[in-house]
Amino acid sequence: MKRTLILLVSYALIAACPIASGQRQNSSSAETKTAIFAGGCFWCIQPAFDKAKGVIKTAAGYCGGTEPNPTYEIVS
């Protein structure tokens, strides 16, 4: 229960974070950038980024380590 509450609060905080107007890129610009975020339960935080203005694509997964195509079973 405590973990669920922490995840819900974390999701709410991420979803509520405004993007500073100076950091937004002009929509007519063809330049894109990549950002990598870490989260304990990445499926829970991905929807917040899906809804963020200017985000083109999101993908949940594992990074780092030596396994080329890690799965939950391998990393858990």
Question: What pLDDT was estimated at residue 18?
Answer: 58
Residues 6+ apart with CB under 8 A from 14: 45, 48, 49
Q: Is residue 24 part of a domain?
A: no
Catalytic residue among 17, 41, 44, 63: 41
pLDDT, one tens digit per residue, over 26-70 is 555 678 888 888 887 767 888 888 898 889 998 887 777 787 888
Please say if 41 is a catalytic residue.
yes
Q: Is the pLDDT of residue 20 over 60?
A: no
Write out the residue range of the structural domain in which residue 9 sits. 1-17+39-76
Q: Whole-prediction pTM value?
A: 0.45
Question: What pLDDT was estimated at residue 2?
Answer: 77
| Domains contained in the chain, number | 1
